[in-house]
Structures are given as structure tokens and as C-alpha cells.
Amino acid sequence: MSKSQYITGLRAVEQLLTGDAVEIRRIYAEYQTANPRVEAIIQTARKDGIEILAANRARLTQIGGEPRHQGVIAEVRRSTVLDEAGLRTLVEDSLVSESQEPLVLLALDGVQDPHNLGACLRTADAAGVSAVIVPRHGAAGLGPTVSKVAAGAAEQLPFAAVPSLGKVLRWLGDYGIRIVGTSDRAEIDVFQADLTGPLLLVMGSEHKGLSKGITNRCDTLISLPMHGVVSSLNVSVATGVCLYEIVRQRSL
């Protein structure tokens, strides 16, 4: 499945032009810009045969949905947006492949801030996650802010917004994938847990953590040790800690 989206910001558009994960349909650039990075983007896009449309700052804000576009917006057609059937196919292909590392998936249970979602995508891509899964309703989805914060990862990493996260966890368990959730009530912390083998890491929302229904579907609950006065970390920071502990354990 593919879908047209608008990607804003210099770094995000530069990353698009150096990869081939998405089809760039056209680029909107500010009139008579003095920014050499915007000029370099225009020149690269022209060389690649991509349509360039000039626009003033107000029009760019209207197209991208936010004022922090930095003078350039790319309209793309994503190939990495999955429906539930596509997610199932990705999982099946990964499990039968003998050449790949054990499957790692990331699920975000109701993360609502697009900045947090973008940061989670950026870290997930860097840590080798195969796909990110979110509920279709009550959570942030892909958009210009997410793409800008993710710095290219949103266009590379398979992303599935599903009708029922609980249902997906159920059939993932049927495939033998271990479900590891984060909770401040967990009896072991992330550094004590065995995070090898195929698994799905589930992170909770910014204010409520994991919902009760999702918690009940987890095979293992882990926490992050907290030694200071704060009781919790930002969800994107916590996601990074957990994902890189998975990376560390798999490199031993």
C-alpha cells in the first residue's frame, strides 16, 4: 500500500534524495531562496528529474501544515506504510529467513506527541527494528512533524497503524514472538531481562504507560532503573534505552 505524504525540513528532504525508499513526486521550494542547502536540494532534484514548484512561505506552511518547513517540502508516495496483512507478511518473511538477525518489532501503545513518535522512529531505524506498530486511533500517525524529527527514518522504516493492537499482539504470540512490555511495576529491569530471540518491545503512552489490556498480553514486563528524583523518562528516551540494550545483548 502507498500513500502521498508531505515531508518538511532540510535534513529530512536531503535524506530522501540520497535514498530510494520512497517515490518523490515533486518538491516545493521557497522563491529566490538565499539558503545554499535549499539550492543544493533543488539542483539534485532537477538532476534526478523531479518536478520543482516554487512557493512562498505562506504556501509552504499551508502545504506542510506547520511553519517550520525551512523553505522546502517534498511530496512523496510512501511504500513503507503497511496494513495488517502487509505486517503479517513482513513477519512471516523475517521468521523464515535464515540470513537475518532475530526479528525485533516496536509497538507504541497510544503515543500521542508526533515529536515523540518521530524520535522513536529515528532510534528504531538506527537500532535495526524491522517495523513499528501503532494503534490507528488515539495515537500519533505519520505526518510532516514526525518525518522532520525522524530525519529520514519515517521514509525507510515499515510502519503499521492497525485497528487493534491487542489483536496484533495475539497473533504475533502465535508465531512464537515474545511480547516484552515496559512497566514501573515490573519485577525485573531491562538489564536483567533476556532480550534475545524474536521479540516485540511495547512502550506505553506519555501519561498512562501501557494500557491494562496490552499489559495482560505481555509475556515479560521490564522497567528502567531510576536512581534520581524523577519517576519516569520521556517515552522516546526510554525506547532508546530498551532498544540499545537489545542491540547490546545480541552483539555478545
C-alpha cell at 9: 525540513
Strands 220-223 and 178-182: parallel
pLDDT at 24: 87
State mean pLDDT over 140-150: 85
Has residue 78 got a pLDDT over 70?
no
C-alpha cell at 103: 526479528
pLDDT higher for 169 or 80?
169
Nearest Cα neighbor of 106 from 118, 88, 124 is: 124
Percent of the chain with pLDDT over 90: 63
- What superfamily in CATH does domain 3-78 come from? Ribosomal protein L30/S12 (3.30.1330.30)
Nearest Cα neighbor of 202 from 126, 133, 248 is: 133
Task: Give me the residue label for grid cell 499482539.
Answer: 169
Q: Which residues contact 89 (CB under 8 A, 6 or more apart)?
A: none
* Band of residue 1 on the pLDDT scale cut at 50, 70, 90: very low
Q: What is the pTM of this model?
A: 0.78
Taking the C-alpha atoms of residue 51 and residue 131, their distance in angstroms, rounded to an integer, is 31
Cα–chain center distance at 209: 18
Has residue 66 got a pLDDT over 90?
no
State mean pLDDT over 118-139: 96
pLDDT digits (tens, 9 = 90+) for 163-213: 999 999 999 999 999 999 999 889 999 999 999 999 999 999 988 899 999
pLDDT higher for 15 or 131?
131
pLDDT at 181: 98
Q: Which residues contact 86 (CB under 8 A, 6 or more apart)?
A: 1, 158, 160
Q: Which residues contact 194 (CB under 8 A, 6 or more apart)?
A: 249
Coil, strand or helix at 145: helix
C-alpha cell at 246: 537489545
* Band of residue 230 on the pLDDT scale cut at 50, 70, 90: confident
C-alpha cell at 210: 501501557
State the DSSP string of 165-216: HHHHHHHHHHTT-EEEEE-TT-SEETTTS---SSEEEEEEBTTTBS-HHHHH
Taking the C-alpha atoms of residue 49 and residue 52, their distance in angstroms, rounded to an integer, is 9
Taking the C-alpha atoms of residue 192 and residue 195, their distance in angstroms, rounded to an integer, is 9
pLDDT at 77: 74
pLDDT at 159: 95
Q: Which listed CATH number (3.40.1280.10, 3.20.20.120, 3.40.50.12280, 3.40.50.300) goes with 83-250?
A: 3.40.1280.10
83-250 and 3-78 share a CATH fold: no
Q: In the chain, where are the structural domains located?
A: 3-78, 83-250
C-alpha cell at 220: 515479560
pLDDT digits (tens, 9 = 90+) for 10-64: 888 888 888 766 778 899 998 878 889 999 999 999 999 999 999 998 998 888 7
Residues linked to residue 188 through DSSP beta bridges, in sequence order:
222
State mean pLDDT over 95-122: 91
pLDDT at 89: 95
Has residue 215 got a pLDDT over 70?
yes
Instruction: Confirm if 29 and 87 have CB atoms less than 8 A apart.
Output: no
Taking the C-alpha atoms of residue 157 and residue 12, their distance in angstroms, rounded to an integer, is 14
Window from 26-30, 77-81, 213-217 with minimum mean pLDDT: 77-81
pLDDT at 21: 64
φ, ψ of residue 63 to 5 degrees: the values are -70, -50
pLDDT at 3: 56
Has residue 108 got a pLDDT over 80?
yes
pLDDT at 20: 66
Angle at 91 between CA 87 and CA 95, to 5 degrees: 170
